[in-house]
Amino acid sequence: MCEHNCVNGHEFERLVRKYGRRNGVAVSFEPGHGKGSHGRLYFGSRFTTLKDRRKEIGPGLFKAMLDQLGISRRELES
């Protein structure tokens, strides 16, 4: 992950899944929520909406998505 959180949706999902495995939290993706290629990424009982997984996620949205999942950037990167 680069210093400005330049990840796309697939990379974000991969990072969250890896973090979930390390911490014993179930992670799943449910397509079809919202328009087009949007879906919900569940982290335990929390979720965030993941837009087109091929497109880059900007730093503001990246932080908001982590906040919705209850994960800090520091935790995700460790």
Distance CA 54, CA 67 (A): 21
Angle of helix 59-69 relative to helix 9-23, nearest 10 degrees? Answer: 30
Query: What integer pLDDT is reported at residue 33 of this predicted model?
Result: 59
In this structure, what DSSP letter does residue 58 have?
P
Residue listed under structure tokens 């999942």: 69
Give the pLDDT score at 35: 62
**61: its two tokens:** 């949205």
Domain 7-77 has CATH 3.30.365.10: no
35/32 Cα distance (integer angstroms): 7
Q: What is the pLDDT of residue 23?
A: 96
Q: DSSP assignment, residue 55?
A: S
Stretch 53-59: mean pLDDT:
88
